[in-house]
Amino acid sequence: MTGRFEGRVALVTAAADGIGAATAKAFAENGARVVLSDINTELGEERAEALRAAGHSATFIRADATREEEVEALVRRTVLDHGGLHLAANVVGDGHPGASGPEFHQQSLEAFEYTIMICLRTTFLCLKHEIAHMIDHGGGAIANVTSLAGMLYNSFGGAGYGSSKAAVIRLTKFAAVSYADRGIRVNCIAPGVTPTRAYYKSGPEHAKVLIDEQVINQPIRRAIATEEQAAGIIWLCSDEASMVTGHNLPIDGGWTAQY
């Protein structure tokens, strides 16, 4: 359905790779003018250039989504450069590198607070400033990225990861109800086993073991592609989902259907 976002501007955070990069590409292929943002300037610029080379409208703006002044400037520049902001995918979210190994009582406060900052604080800041624009300019659609770890027990990422992702689901619902009467829809996806850089922090061999261990929990026993996660975001932001808001969509190969 190429062209369904024609004339609309989409902002994607964590767009340098993983689900963010796949989402930026999907928005562009569906006709949106896309702003990619990340702290990885080199890779982010490469992604934007590749989209432009394919004939799409894409620009990169570096921003640290943990810093409010940078998020505010990101949204402001997006609006100034492109004339508006209609769609947003808030993808930033990660766990502390040392949080998965120790048992709960051995995990550090530093790891817990770091993960809350990366997963929950960034989503709050992005929502706040995206909504602040959309509220006075005809509304819009926003998709956040949470995790199955926010819905059920999973040791991946430690206590901070599951706690922050559960909070993102609640934050999504709060924003959805608060702004539904002003034309703003807010939803989220909960990815299942999707190989992104978070899996590869300890190297490719450890990543394979981790992925194989988790895939057996999915009725569809294969890893999920980032493009499949992006497809869920695209649908939630599209007019086809015009009556969907406050929804958490698990894209998990049937994992949560078992509970």
pLDDT for 47 beyond 90: yes
Between 112 and 38, residue with greater pLDDT: 38
Rounded to an integer, the average pLDDT of 234-259 is 97
Of the candidates 56, 18, 62, 55, which has an alpha carbon nearest to the alpha carbon of residue 36? 62
DSSP per residue, 154-175: --TTHHHHHHHHHHHHHHHHHH
The angle subtended at Cα 257 by Cα 252 and Cα 259, nearest 5°, is 120
Going by C-beta distance under 8 Å and a sequence separation of 6 or more, which residues neighbour residue 66? Answer: 117, 118, 121, 122, 125
Torsion, CA 220, CA 224, CA 227, CA 232, rounded to 10: 60
Between 206 and 189, residue with greater pLDDT: 189
Mean pLDDT of all residues belonging to the chain: 93
Rounded to an integer, the average pLDDT of 8-19 is 97
Confidence at residue 31, expressed as pLDDT on a 0 to 100 scale: 98
**pLDDT tens-digit readout, 167-202:** 999 999 999 999 999 999 999 999 999 988 776 666
Q: In what order do the strands lie in the sheet with 87-90?
A: 58-62, 33-38, 9-13, 87-90, 140-145, 184-191, 248-251
Give the span between the Cα atoms of 20 and 142, in whole angstroms. Answer: 14
pLDDT for 97 beyond 70: no
Residue 96's pLDDT band, with cuts at 50, 70 and 90, is low
- Asked if 161 is an active-site residue, the reply is yes
Give the span between the Cα atoms of 46 and 66, in whole angstroms. Answer: 23
Is-above-0.85 flag for pTM? Answer: yes
C-alpha distances (whole Å) from 64 to each of 21, 39, 230, 259 are 16, 6, 22, 37
- Tell me which of 44-58, 162-176, 208-222 is least confident: 208-222
Across 95-104, 124-133, 159-168, the highest mean pLDDT is recorded for: 124-133
Confidence at residue 1, expressed as pLDDT on a 0 to 100 scale: 43
Give the span between the Cα atoms of 148 and 224, in whole angstroms. Answer: 13
Amino acid at 70: E
- Tell me which of 151-160, 166-175, 198-207, 219-228 is least confident: 198-207
Exposed e or buried b for every residue in 38-69, given b needs 16+ CB within 10 A?
bbbeebbbebbeebeeeebbbbbbebebeeee
Helices (H), the chain: 18-29, 41-53, 68-82, 109-116, 122-134, 158-179, 204-215, 226-237
Name the percent of the chain lying above pLDDT 70. 94
DSSP state of 117: I
Between 144 and 94, residue with greater pLDDT: 144
Between 92 and 206, residue with greater pLDDT: 92
Asked whether the beta carbons of 144 and 166 are under 8 A apart, the reply is no
Exposure of 141 by Cβ count < 10 A (0-12 exposed, 13-18 middle, 19+ buried)?
buried
Confidence at residue 56, expressed as pLDDT on a 0 to 100 scale: 98
- Report domain 9-250's class: alpha beta
Residue tagged active-site, from 161, 179, 199, 200? 161
- The sign of the dihedral angle between the CA atoms of 250, 251, 255, 258 is positive
Residue 3's pLDDT band, with cuts at 50, 70 and 90, is confident
Confidence at residue 153, expressed as pLDDT on a 0 to 100 scale: 86
- Tell me which of 6-20, 46-60, 124-138, 146-160 is least confident: 146-160
